Amino acid sequence: MSLQEMIQVLPPELQNQVRDFIARLLNERSIKTRRKPQFVWAGALRELKEEYTSVQLQHQISEWRTGTK
C-alpha cells in the first residue's frame, strides 16, 4: 500500500494531522538548508559616502526602490 493510499483511508481529521506533520517536516528541512547570508553587497555604495550621510543614503535608497521623492 502506498503512502497516498494509506492517507486516503484515514478519516479527515487524521488526514489533516498528517498534512500538518508533513508541512512541519518540510518547514524544518527548509530552515536547516538555509545558508548564512554572504553580504556580497557590502561596500557597494562606498563611492557615495562623500556625497551622502548614512541617513541621507537610506532615504536615497528608499527613493530608488520606490521611485518616489
The span from the CA of 32 to the CA of 20, in Å, is 18
**Residue ranges of domains in the chain:** 3-34+45-66
43 residue type, one letter: G
pTM of whole model > 0.85?
no
The predicted-structure confidence for 3-47, as pLDDT tens digits, reads as follows 999 999 999 999 999 999 999 998 888 766 667 777 888 888 788
Q: b/e per residue, 1-39, with b = 16+ CB within 10 A?
A: eeeeeeeeeeeeeeeeeeeeeeeeeeeeeeeeeeeeeee
Q: How confident is the model at residue 57 (pLDDT cuts 50, 70, 90)?
A: confident
